[in-house]
Amino acid sequence: MSAKLQVLVIDDDAVVGRSFNRVLSDKGYEVSTALSGEDGLETLEKSNFDVVFTDIKMPGMDGLEVTERIKARCPWTPVVVITGYGTEDNEVKASVLGASGFVRKPLTPEMIENITLKAVNDGEKPIDVAEDVVEQSVDSIEAEVTGDVTVTKQVNSTAKNVGLFFASPFIALGYVIALPFVGFYMFIKLGREAFIKKHMSE
């Protein structure tokens, strides 16, 4: 990786932060730690992070409040809630607040690495979706323009055919009216040529 991904771990147990640092530092991540929700929010004001992990049960501000405040400030930043007191109610609350994940202690190195990778990928999805929407919008506009050109050509072709349809009787009538005059002219022309040939032979 050309630039290390920034990870913030907010947990009142310093061992947790050291565990994240030990597992992720060799994987291309730079890990920062905070021992309380208040300290974590202050750290977020100074730097941008690709992923934030927060413990749910801490003195003072708990992890759910931390999640809510982070998502209010930086809605694009993935937040993963970690806890040793996991309940279904807390999972639902964390999900409603916009948490990208909810994992229970104890965390193994594999769990730390996998959940971090998943959170980073989830954080990149809105950008991908936005690009797709732009591309689809451009494609739609191009399709509409192409469709408009096609429709215009079809309208012009149809108008031409309709015009020929209505004009054909008049064209035919013109031929019918002109035919006798053409025939008479040809008759006079042939008679004149015959007359000239006769007198020249004499």
Neighbours of 118 (CB within 10 A): 15
pTM of the entire structure?
0.60
- Cite the DSSP H helix spans in the chain: 14-24, 37-46, 63-73, 88-96, 109-201
Q: With pLDDT > 90 as the criterion, what percentage of the chain qualifies?
A: 44
Give domain status of residue 166, yes or no: no
Q: Among positive and negative, which fits the CA dihedral 108, 46, 94, 85? A: positive
Phi/psi of residue 24, nearest 5 degrees: -90, -20
Give domain status of residue 103, yes or no: yes
Give domain status of residue 17, yes or no: yes
Give domain status of residue 137, yes or no: no
Q: In which domain, by residue range, is 16 found?
A: 5-129
Residues for the chain: how many in total?
202
Could you tell me the two tokens for 113? 């690495």
Neighbours of 8 (CB within 10 A): 25
Between CA 83 and CA 56 the distance in angstroms is 5
Domain count, the chain: 1
Give domain status of residue 177, yes or no: no
pLDDT at 152 over 50: no
User: Rounded mean pLDDT of 182-186?
Assistant: 52
Among 3-12, 40-49, 72-81, 114-123, name the one with the lowest average pLDDT: 114-123
Give domain status of residue 154, yes or no: no
Query: Which CATH number characterizes residue 123's domain?
Result: 3.40.50.2300
In what helix (H) or strand (E) does residue 6 lie, and over which residues does it extend?
Answer: strand 5-10
pLDDT band (50, 70, 90) for residue 186 = low
Give domain status of residue 189, yes or no: no
pLDDT at 55 over 80: yes
Query: Which of 39, 52, 33 is CA-nearest to residue 99?
Result: 52
Q: With pLDDT > 70 as the criterion, what percentage of the chain qualifies?
A: 58
pLDDT band (50, 70, 90) for residue 91 = confident
User: Rounded mean pLDDT of 148-167?
Assistant: 51
Q: CA dihedral in degrees (178, 180, 186, 191; nearest 10)? A: -150
Q: CA dihedral in degrees (181, 185, 186, 188; nearest 10)? A: 140
- The answer to whether the peptide bond before residue 59 is cis (omega within 30 degrees of 0) is no
Give domain status of residue 190, yes or no: no
